[in-house]
Structure 1
Amino acid sequence: MKKLKLKYNFKKFPYEIINNSNCILSYILDNCGLNLSDCFFICDKIVFHKYIINSKFYKINKDKIILSLVPGKKDHKNFKSLIKIYKALDKNNCPRDINIIAIGGGVIGDIGAFAASTWYRGTNLIHVPTSLMAMIDSSIGGKTAINFQKKINSIGTFYDQNKTICNIGFLKTLPNEDYLSAFSETIKVALLKSPSLLNKLVNNPKKIKTKDPMFLMEIISKSVIIKSKLINDDWRDLNKRMILNFGHTFGHAIEVSVLKSKNSHYYNHGMGVGLGILAALKYSSILFEKNYFFEKKIKMISNFFKTLGLDNKIISKKFKFHNKIDLANKIYSNMLKDKKRSFSGIRLIYLKNNKNAAIDNKPLKKDIMNSILSIID
């Protein structure tokens, strides 16, 4: 077990990393000193059926457990799911001091936190992330959101959790694609602030693939500590915190541009961000006239993704685009809708060196297009 105290927004938040095979509901109650009557659980449907429904604790207490099940896919991160949660809170007459406990990946964490921030103007919130992406990123920092009109995280609030309980035992059954692609977020914070973490990641693919518990505890703890330091002075994401968007403006646009069917994204968030990071590094290289430092980083991370079995290029013909330019134009047009844009247009985060990044408020279209084209075959 690792117990951390993450400091940001002038507060300290407990963040526990455990490796527990027992029923997570009983652990939460014992660990937080709560009774079932104090809790409203929002749980990913798959997590519920894998880890909770057959547990002895659930079978004994199921009539006392207040629970709302929500699918963890991103197309369910919407008003319909949110209204379902509100109706369950209302039906069970949940008061303002209820503890909303979100058990699931990033979708459940975001929508659960949104519900907690708005039910009677704010209830207690406990995050229990079950995906690696949620453990290292979305379960800390106070951002809540739902998607709207195909725009990712376009409606949301800032609202802090009371505690995060990170059980790496959930990662044993996490689909390999979701698990491995989440390392794009650790690569991001490592590029921004920790060369030693970056080296540890790229030099240990075996420990990553075998889900080595001690290695995962170390990577998760270092990642969340770096993130908490970056948001400490800028909780509302107006300046310093914005560098955490490195790779994301490209990445979100890639997610919504590359489809496997009309309404189904080919790349999950981690995969989109991974490709976005490569594009953002290329953008940094262009700004600094193809500096060797950036080209070396591109090669290192591209090889790392390849070793993990992740895409480091988008094959345009695979997705029925006539050519590379057509796909690049589609990605660029979606970047223009990015939620971090300003009135003057796209904002891009670029890397300056091993530990520093900056915001470009007026990036040139030709530089953006060349960066996009660098990750397309």
Structure 2
Amino acid sequence: MNGLDSMEKTKYLNWRGKLVNLSRIKKILVVQPKPFGDVLLTSAYLPALRHKFPDAQIDYFVAKPYDRMVYKHPSLDNVVAVNHRPGKWYIIDRLISFWIVFRRRYDLVIDQNCSTTSTQVVALSGARYRLGYDSGQSAMFSNIQTVYGPDKYNAAKRYDMLKPFGIEEEPVKLFFYISPEEHQFAENWIKEHHLKDRRIVLYSPGTTYEYKAWKVDYFAELADMVAERTNLVSVLLAAPDERSYLLKMAEKMKTPALVLPPLTLGQVGAFLKRVAFLFCNDGGLYHLSVATQTPTLGFFGSVETIAWSAQGFVPTHFHLNNPEYQLEPERHFGFTPLDALERFKEIAPQFDIKVRE
């Protein structure tokens, strides 16, 4: 390395004694098969990766239907979306995935997920350079290895993977494409419900994992208190398989609330762009609202807020949690609706929301 002139130094990387020829990296694949939130969070570093390799082809390997989270991402050339079905299709789908990646002849493959599936994809990719962490499943098949840094919001922490290439962490900013049709759907719904001149507060009491769901009765009580103290219109949202949470909340509420129909991810994004505030649990919606820059208060139970809360990294996002809370059947999370209201009152002025006493 010492004998290389300044131009050559820009073409080579000496990572722990391993000489990496950067000029030979023309095709890059980021491997993060699922789930929705993680696929979106990994996309945070794509602009930085693009800046480092401006002329390279950068692709993203993801299982369907999670590919929607990186659809039309401006830093990507291709989204390699594959089937990963269970049952009799399990082996067939994976063999097809391996072949799809191998035949594309990537120069650099990044094992961001470090799961059994992603490690297999990387190991069988045929790539000259295989980037992964120096511990866990991917270590055996990675010939460029990085280390985990300190715990922090997951979108920021994923920059740890790119340390070997001298890529530094940048302010968290997520991209999520919303089509004109999806925007129009939201506009039409708002117009039909005479909310054009009103500000909306959105509640999403559901989540994929039950232990992450704050008590529905508490959501309803909080919504009533917010309705009584603000001029915000209450609207309820849930994923198609989480509507039981939504229906129970609507039943428990004493103040009026509108219920959104089942929506596509793009339609959800369009509504997030149009609401004044969001209350939700830890999950994919919380991270999607980072992309839409929607002011959000997330309720966290027994999960690590340091890893999954965007508070401190994104100016629109906050969380409420009790560090001493331990998982229990009621899922009260160690705080009350009144605690949530007080936290909201602290946040609201930043977004021109007035809360009456």
TM norm structure 2: 0.31
Structure with max Cα Rg: 2
More helix by share: 1
For normalisation by structure 1, the TM-score amounts to 0.30
